Structure 1
């Protein structure tokens, strides 16, 4: 018997996250293993009067990255560009058979491959900022992801459904409540000019005046539960030590420490994965700047799973992303990457806005959220 939560998952994605309407071209991308959710979403799109188009994802890029020439690595299919140009809605369902299939790829080749596709990513961001394209990224529970997270498949399914509030009688109503709660934080931060984040071996500050704090309420990322913005690009100064490994293309970089001066990473070290770290921040000039600063607010997510879709939302954490900004936040940084890294704030962490303490030990103070 199919899990009723798959149906609720699809209904929430199509009707709440993407808001599919009659006549919309909706492109679904997903691995074969995620077929139950692909099928359920397909059905919901039909019910909404949309036009679903399914693209099956695969792990064949491993062959390209290992065997391909420079010309092949940098070739970008016009078909992939047309999809982003023409779709009204994009649904990307994560969850494949092997989370480590890219682990032994030369970091320089990964860098070259991703840099070549920056224009497609830029086009998606621009259409999204104009309101021409809605996109959502979600996750289907698979054995490989469960193993990566250190859980059984049943445990991982429960983790995902809890993180998405799909165990609730009305998940959409739950997400509306989250939006309302987060809006208090957004309104507070949109009135501030300066931000300082302090935690273990971390003391970093940045200007946020004229930038827009966004309320991430399960539309683009599902699940969500964060507020985020893009800092003034040349204002970031100080140091930060990330509490959890940075994950990029299935490879882990451990104990990342960054030092910023006038917005630029001037020192970057890691106890494991130093070469990949250096390759990533050297992809382009924008890769050494912060494109996003965010506060995780989803307290149904309380453990690190090595999947940033969930990890960056952990209640009681903050994260910075090197690289591309989200235009809607007012951020202007451009890059081939957008790489999130996570700092735990639950044991002594503090955040100050214009010198005022508003966040301590992983929680926003009551004076802000009332």
Structure 2
């Protein structure tokens, strides 16, 4: 029987060699909470083994962040250390690879004024926009993985003791990232092929619209005229293949900014900036959210939608079958990296230029002309369910079934 350390080693290897695909003499930047220090050391060793010339650690601490948001003068929440943003952008410019360890605590900021959180989030997003554009345009390889913390595991397994719930969450991560397979790399290659087949099928269809229908949802999403479906992996400008999210089960593309109409209901909780938004409904008219109600986190939802002009428009639509490994685990992860891969989802905010033909070479004006939505945020939320039906609508008005009962037809 394989040991925990053996699987952890394979997880780190998968992240560095397959997800990030570190190249010889490349700098690797790891952005991480300090609670993940042991895993960071293992990732660092793997990166050097893969040929990295340097590994830079960008440490963060959730508790310190919460203390600042609670107690610092509001004026300081409107300031961001530009040396930090400029440093990240400089490393991206020089071809670094970026790995983020995402270990959310959805209750961290539940007692903090949402207005203060919104001010801080907007300040950080504005300061880091130059750096983030390198990732949004696939100019660099980047990856997001997760690591079980006491706080996160308590949300997933609230009735277990700390040691047991962390152990069970690790078991799920190893399973859902295919690390528990005898040959995880071969398993990922097959998985990528399966997703790529769906991507190619959708690209051959050239649908004009998608129609989503389920309990509480009746939504039409017009696709950008030059949209292209993307799955699993991407390539950097220099030709390095990487997988931005581990795990991943989605095939996704760009909606036309002003082409969404109807109502959609969330089907899983959304952990956003240390707060929870749950059981919410959005109504769209000509692409824009004109009404938003939430049973949990209404004020947080309002602040998110008011982040900037683009926050009320969609930047992504993604298809994920209900019969998928993460959904079939029967768990809610309170972690978008996992929950979005259990369910069809859409994202409010910024579009990805690589989801339209030639998008990464377009000017801002050209992107806008092709349906691109610009925003400081990109927030995925889950809308898929066991009763979800999706049709693809062509230019001539003809309709084809894509999903029935939550799954591909």
Q: What is the number of residues matched between the two proteins?
A: 361
Separation (CA, whole Å) in 2 of partners of 1:30 and 1:322: 25
Change (3 A) 1:2 1:241: closer
Are residue 335 (structure 1) and residue 368 (structure 2) matched? no
Match of 2:112 in 1: 105
User: What is the RMSD of the two structures over their aligned residues, measured on CA atoms?
Assistant: 1.9
Separation (CA, whole Å) in 2 of partners of 1:222 and 1:188: 23
Task: Output one character per residue of 1:329-353: Cα deviation in whole Å (capped at 9) or x when no partner.
Answer: 136212222222112321x211111
* Mean CA deviation greater in 61-70 or 277-286: 61-70
Q: Which runs of 5+ in 1 are unaligned?
A: 366-370
Separation (CA, whole Å) in 1 of partners of 2:346 and 2:290: 16
Match of 2:90 in 1: 85
Match of 1:349 in 2: 388
Separation (CA, whole Å) in 2 of partners of 1:120 and 1:310: 28
Match of 2:172 in 1: 159
Q: Which runs of 5+ in 2 are unaligned?
A: 159-164, 234-241, 357-370, 394-398
Given that residues 231 and 250 in structure 2 are in contact (C-alpha distance below 8 angstroms), is that contact kept between their aligned partners in structure 1?
yes
Separation (CA, whole Å) in 2 of partners of 1:304 and 1:65: 27
Cα deviation for residue 123 of structure 1 reads 2.3
Change (3 A) 1:84 1:180: same
Task: Output one character per residue of 1:118-148: Cα deviation in whole Å (capped at 9) or x when no partner.
Answer: 2354323422355432111111122221111
Given that residues 9 and 42 in structure 2 are in contact (C-alpha distance below 8 angstroms), is that contact kept between their aligned partners in structure 1?
yes
Given that residues 189 and 353 in structure 1 are in contact (C-alpha distance below 8 angstroms), is that contact kept between their aligned partners in structure 2?
no
Match of 1:363 in 2: 407
Q: 1:285 aligns with which of 290, 295, 309?
A: 309
SS in 2 for 1:167: coil
Match of 1:63 in 2: 67
Separation (CA, whole Å) in 2 of partners of 1:136 and 1:120: 21
Separation (CA, whole Å) in 2 of partners of 1:46 and 1:254: 42
Cα deviation for residue 99 of structure 1 reads 4.6
Separation (CA, whole Å) in 1 of partners of 2:77 and 2:222: 38
**1:124-273 equivalence runs, <5 A:** 124-150=131-157, 152-190=165-203, 191-208=206-223, 209-217=225-233, 219-273=243-297
Given that residues 118 and 335 in structure 1 are in contact (C-alpha distance below 8 angstroms), is that contact kept between their aligned partners in structure 2?
no
Given that residues 150 and 305 in structure 1 are in contact (C-alpha distance below 8 angstroms), is that contact kept between their aligned partners in structure 2?
no
TM-score (norm 1): 0.92
Match of 1:306 in 2: 334
Given that residues 103 and 249 in structure 1 are in contact (C-alpha distance below 8 angstroms), is that contact kept between their aligned partners in structure 2?
no
Cα deviation for residue 233 of structure 1 reads 0.4
Separation (CA, whole Å) in 2 of partners of 1:247 and 1:131: 25
Separation (CA, whole Å) in 2 of partners of 1:258 and 1:79: 38
